Structure 1
């Protein structure tokens, strides 16, 4: 895979022989943040990296990362069966730092830190109390009390770890109330993937009127807004437009509802359902489009989390149509890299897309503005420096005995 060649020029060649053990019971081994960004950054800096994750192989080494596979369970209720395996495998690594990525592993992470005397880093990917409020598999009456309870538990545990890593401003502020060492690592894109693509192409080569959405398909991420807006473009403006949906649906029920809706509206010829693809395959689909779409809906969680795909569109030079929410406006507001619209108004989304497709020169300028912003600032290579700084600080603290 070898996708971080430029990091060798970024990090200091310290030749660190320290060992890092990364743990996850939820994410696949090649998760973008876990494998492609954090693990690869550490490998390029000279660390020995072991990743314990659900995998279809017991053990393999990929791009310098030693993956220790766990059984993969289709039902989430079976995941606790892996907890003992994770703890046992992690202890055998005798690592210098333990870095774990799932809130369900909070007790294991704390136990590892206490038993081994080594630093443990809790990587909080998002605002989990808010995420619980929209989990479809949790009965509605139970979501709020579970969210409040988890809020207390997560903060209580978080205060005990050597460090907490976060990906958003609001989550950073939350943990800074209880932890002295919180590092914000934005999920910015890897330039090595998105600027050149797998085939080296640097310009969009797709259909004339094509829009792309990358990420989970769900109601709160705007799947119905997208279908409504595309219908408006087709039926009201007589536009021959194609929407490419790259990502899995949030449930089998939603998948059936989406397909039924597409058939009922007779727009199947305008919708491409790609499904989930690997991180390195994403540019293949974004580069075929002329507009990137972020139709997030105004729920509590989306007032705190930053959509990663927005930056991936920017890295590919796509102008963006996005919901006007504070975390999105924070980055798009001054860049002139796209259009912000009312999150709940399909007509507004449709008109913004129509404008960009009808004004190619202006759209190209917006795309170039976004690409430049990623090149200069909003890229993982810059965030990787902060990750390495955290590890150096943790290891120095251990060596000094505090």
Structure 2
């Protein structure tokens, strides 16, 4: 089978989408199929074209043997009109540059943003391919639930567009059980065309390492009990509650240190809050390539996963969860819903309510007092990933689902 992956985001950018697509593409190739990628010039998460790609309207390179076509887009971030231009420019440019790709059997469209469906539908029709719409976040539901859009005419128009895309797709792939259930039960899409491909982990990229003492010294973290957060520093993560917890721990347990790794629209405000409170137990580093995360995990006591306490995220399963587990570190999991079941099955960390500074402080103090249990739960997480959630296991299962759907359609 031949796949064209259409996504606004791809390697060498860092983020959940980029990690998921890299893992998926690599395993599709290892399973004996072909993959080609059509994406934008790298710019996320900062919304600035990477230096090596500036001044270009189109660039072709390769990633792991896969041809990658990169097209210009209006680089931007945040919630402004500029972000609308960012989405719209990629939709138009990717449709135009699709003339360079080979004819695929399937066009695999990554969403969000929902706007990528427009070129996806047209490319699939023009090339005589089947469309697979991969839903990692429900748009426009999530935009409404985060308060960016009201439940009015614009929302209803986008929802009709969303459901129309699902109906026109050969298959719809859901990243979480919650998304899958909502697509079937609320959006009214037949269960037989909804496939499941959850976030997995690359156990070679994310792996347990001996403590990197050189890195710890460089960051001023020698001897510290480090709690790290790696990923987008955005509104949806509710990270100001972590700053509140840090304020308490600076008084009660000064060995604990919070390390934020990444970029995002909330980063300037988080840094401002740290400075205003005079906190010495919080630091920030810029986003690093995925292959570097294991080094940071090696000097950490645990990793943190958090999202806002809203109904939307009860069906979430953040990709950073499996990365932390794969690195052999326990997870402080501050998200409601589906991911809690994963933590219970794996016994790979501590589950607390989202955005609850007192609960976060309590979990961290328990970990500091019980290093053997911290070690045990970290090992549990790595073992669980190896047995159930490698990209090889998940993608091979997804390919089987796709083949069954294709066979049923032919019949």
Q: 1:145 to 1:276 in 2, by over 3 A?
A: farther
Displacement, 1:130? Answer: 3.0
TM-score, normalisation: structure 2: 0.82
Tell me which residue corresponds to 1:19.
2
Does residue 276 of the first structure (1) align with residue 287 of the second (2)?
A: yes
In the other structure, the counterpart of 1:149 is 157
Residues 1:166 and 2:181 aligned together: no
Which residue of structure 1 lines up, in the alignment, with residue 84 of structure 2? Answer: 77
Give 1:301 deviation, angstroms: 1.9
Does residue 64 in structure 1 map to residue 62 in structure 2? no
SS at match of 1:132: helix
CA, structure 1 residues 257+387, in 2 after alignment: closer, same or farther (shift >3 Å)?
same
8 Å contact from structure 1 (residues 170, 305) kept in 2? yes
The within-5 A match list for 1:335-354 is 335-354=346-365
Post-superposition Cα deviations, 1:219-254, rounded to whole Å, max 9, x if no partner, equal 43131111111111111x1422211111212x2xx3
Aligned-residue offset at 1:393: 4.6
Q: Is residue 199 of structure 2 the alignment partner of residue 187 of structure 1? A: yes
Determine the C-alpha separation between the residues in 1 that align with 2:10 and 2:170.
22
Distance 1:342 1:99, change over 3 A: closer
RMSD of aligned alpha carbons? 2.5
Alignment of 1:120-269 (within 5 A): 120-133=131-144, 138=148, 142=150, 145-176=153-184, 177-179=188-190, 180-195=192-207, 201=209, 207=222, 208-235=224-251, 237-249=252-264, 251=265, 254-267=266-279, 269=280
Q: Deviations over 1:232-289 (max 9, x none)?
A: 1111x1422211111212x2xx33321211111111x322211222222222222221
TM-score (norm 1): 0.84
Secondary structure, counterpart of 1:58 in structure 2 = strand
Q: Is the Cα contact below 8 Å between 1:133 and 1:144 reproduced in 2?
A: no
Deviates more, 1:339-348 or 1:355-364: 339-348
Greater Cα shift, 221-230 or 329-338: 329-338
8 A contact 1:119–1:394 mirrored in 2: no
1:368 aligns with 2:379: yes
Task: Indicate the SS of the match to 1:193.
Answer: coil
Rounded to whole Å, the distance in 2 between the matches of 1:98 and 1:29 is 21
* 2:396 counterpart residue number: 385
- Quick one: which of 305, 311, 314 aligns to 1:294? 305
Task: Tell whether the 8 Å contact from 1:226 to 1:295 is kept in structure 2 after alignment.
Answer: no
Shift of 1:323: 1.8
Relative to structure 1, the CA distance from residue 234 to residue 228 in structure 2 (aligned partners, 3 Å threshold; closer, same or farther) is same
Alignment partners' CA distance in 2, 1:156 and 1:281: 41
In terms of mean alpha carbon deviation, does 254-263 or 361-370 score higher?
A: 254-263
- Seen in structure 2, the aligned counterparts of structure 1 residues 280 and 238 have a Cα distance that, compared at 3 Å, is closer
Displacement after TM superposition at 1:334 (Å) = 3.8
> What is the rounded CA distance, in whole Å, between the counterparts of 1:216 and 1:312 in structure 2?
14
Asked if 2 retains the 8 angstrom alpha-carbon contact of 1:54 and 1:70, the reply is: yes
Q: What is the alpha-carbon distance in structure 1 between the residues aligned to residue 374 and residue 11 of structure 2?
A: 36
Residue equivalent to 1:43: 29
Whether 1:305 and 2:323 are equivalent positions in the alignment is no
Aligned equivalents of 2:152 and 2:291: distance in 1?
Answer: 37
Aligned-partner SS, 1:220: helix
**What secondary structure sits across from 2:321 in the alignment?**
helix
User: Matched residues in 2 for 1:101 and 1:222: separation?
Assistant: 25
SS at match of 1:99: strand
1:316-361 CA-partner distances (Å, limit 9, x unpaired): 1212222251122211124332222232321110111111012101
Tell me, in whole angstroms, the C-alpha distance in 2 between the residues paired with 1:204 and 1:387: 36
* Count of residue pairs the alignment pairs up: 371
Greater displacement, 335-344 / 367-376: 335-344
CA distance in structure 2 between the partners assigned to 1:278 and 1:143 by the alignment:
38
Q: Distance in 1 between matches of 2:406 and 2:345?
A: 39
- Indicate conservation of the 8 Å contact 1:212/1:292, yes or no: yes
Q: Which runs of 5+ in 1 are unaligned?
A: 1-17
